[in-house]
Chain A
Amino acid sequence: GNSVTQMEGPVTLSEEAFLTINCTYTATGYPSLFWYVQYPGEGLQLLLKATKADDKGSNKGFEATYRKETTSFHLEKGSVQVSDSAVYFCALVTGSARQLTFGSGTQLTVLP
């Protein structure tokens, strides 16, 4: 079956620090990969996605590269802001399954 393993949290950083949140996956079939963000009291918002190997998804300064050889999709941002404080979820979907499989989430807190 499909599974996603995310870096354990919580993560606390100072503003302008570099962020990496690790994500690895196992999948039956060829997955599409996603990062979703959840702000307090809200639903999930798609942050970025990649649908094939070596694709780089990017949005709002966040980036992640689909690495098939290491089955990874690590999230990075060069300079975090207080407004980036949220829970980040790595997820995948495969053509045969159609449902999203999520990791357990990583709580990020950015201090001014």
Chain B
Amino acid sequence: DAGITQSPRYKITETGRQVTLMCHQTWSHSYMFWYRQDLGHGLRLIYYSAAADITDKGEVPDGYVVSRSKTENFPLTLESATRSQTSVYFCASSESGGSSYNEQFFGPGTRLTVL
């Protein structure tokens, strides 16, 4: 399917477990992003990537790891999940240059619950 997909859509895990959230886009967009959405905070940037093998921290990176070996994939790993990481996670992608602005296209989100 064309577009940006996330898996799983729902995940329940326990404190201390490692969890990986997957993000895949079919547009060959250069930029990819991970946000978390919590009540009262809107969306906050966790990590972003400008291209394959180029990643950098966002506003709330602690406890998360990312990689981007291929342009189309941008997995987010919680190395040792904590209850405070219970949230809805959104992946997004955007093009690089070529127009006056580059809107971000968002995936459907992953609802993660850490017990």
Asked if A pairs with B, the answer is no
Q: Residues of A at under 8 Å CB distance from B?
A: none
